[in-house]
């Protein structure tokens, strides 16, 4: 029976039917709240991995500016690998945020609907207060995540430009161009890392709050 439910859930996920997916999870004892916490945890972990990846890419860019001779094709391939890994992480961050937004929308809609079902004014007011506080904390979290995400693409654009220039000009001129951009790259990556760390802290605080309720 459980296997049949999981197969059905997989079908609905592929079909993009979120409401049926969440309903199916609840049938096997997994409420939307738990799904939301899990997705925030995954987003937090992905941001941590992304932060480390961009640090790694910056280290590779920095190392290349110290190029003293050798195979520039190998140098390009190393730099391109770091760029591709960073781009993949950027896509993963985007997906994690979209997943959180999807389940949060379903959770809050359900919560709002269930509040109307209270017959006790005091319990209704208490639930509404908790919903308002949770929404406020959620918006703070998603804002921090999106702010960090917004800083990724500008860094990727610079990475891509430098990788392409190196690919098309496997010579000292390309290395010189990279040296000229290194200061800006370092500044942009530092800003990105700080935003990522703030977002990660917000995620940890949100998870702690949700688990306490």
Confidence of residue 26 (pLDDT cuts 50, 70, 90): confident
Confidence of residue 7 (pLDDT cuts 50, 70, 90): very low
Q: What is the pLDDT of residue 17?
A: 61
Residues 129 and 26 in one domain: no
Q: How far is it, in rounded angstroms, from Cα 44 to Cα 3? A: 30
The CATH number of the domain holding residue 121 is: 1.20.120
Q: What is the pLDDT of residue 86?
A: 97
Residues 192 and 94 in one domain: yes
Q: Is there a contact between 149 and 192 (Cβ–Cβ < 8 Å)?
A: no
Q: What is the pLDDT of residue 187?
A: 94
Residues 51 and 112 in one domain: yes
Distances (CA, A) of 63 to 68, 102, 150, 174, 184: 10, 41, 26, 14, 16
Place of tokens 């921090």: 144
Tokens for 88? 């993949």
Confidence of residue 213 (pLDDT cuts 50, 70, 90): low
- pLDDT tens digit string along 102-149? 999 999 999 999 999 999 999 999 999 999 999 999 999 999 999 999
Residues 156 and 79 in one domain: yes
- pLDDT tens digit string along 161-190? 989 988 888 777 778 888 888 899 999 999
Q: How far is it, in rounded angstroms, from Cα 27 to Cα 103? A: 16
What's the average model confidence in pLDDT over 47-65? 93
Whether the predicted pLDDT of 6 surpasses 70? no
Residues 200 and 141 in one domain: yes
Q: What is the pLDDT of residue 44?
A: 97
Tokens for 193? 């890392």
What domain count does the chain have? 2
Residues 5 and 105 in one domain: no
Whether the predicted pLDDT of 53 surpasses 50? yes
Residues 65 and 82 in one domain: yes
Nearest to 82 by CA among 53, 107, 105: 53
What domain range includes position 137?
32-212
Whether the predicted pLDDT of 48 surpasses 60? yes
CB atoms under 10 Å from CB of 154, counted, come to 13
Q: What is the pLDDT of residue 9?
A: 47
What's the average model confidence in pLDDT over 151-160? 94
């Amino acid at each position: 029976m459980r296997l049949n439910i999981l197969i059905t859930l997989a079908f609905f996920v592929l079909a993009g039917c979120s409401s049926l997916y969440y309903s199916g999870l609840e049938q096997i004892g997994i409420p939307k709240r738990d799904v939301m916490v899990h997705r925030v945890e995954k987003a937090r972990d992905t941001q941590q991995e992304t932060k480390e990846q961009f640090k790694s890419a910056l280290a590779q860019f920095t190392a290349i500016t110290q190029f003293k001779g050798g195979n520039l094709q190998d140098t390009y391939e190393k730099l391109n690998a770091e760029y591709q890994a960073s781009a993949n992480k950027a896509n993963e961050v985007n997906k994690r945020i979209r997943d959180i937004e999807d389940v949060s929308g379903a959770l809050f809609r359900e919560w709002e609907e269930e509040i109307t079902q209270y017959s006790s004014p005091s319990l209704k007011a208490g639930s509404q207060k908790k919903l308002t506080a949770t929404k406020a904390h959620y918006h703070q979290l998603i804002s921090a995540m999106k702010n960090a995400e917004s800083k990724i693409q500008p860094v990727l654009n610079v990475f891509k430009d430098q990788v392409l220039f190196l690919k098309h000009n496997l010579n000292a001129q390309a290395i010189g161009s990279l040296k000229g951009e290194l200061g800006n790259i370092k500044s942009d990556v530092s800003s990105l890392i700080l935003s990522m760390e703030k977002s990660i802290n917000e995620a940890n605080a949100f998870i702690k709050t949700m688990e306490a309720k």
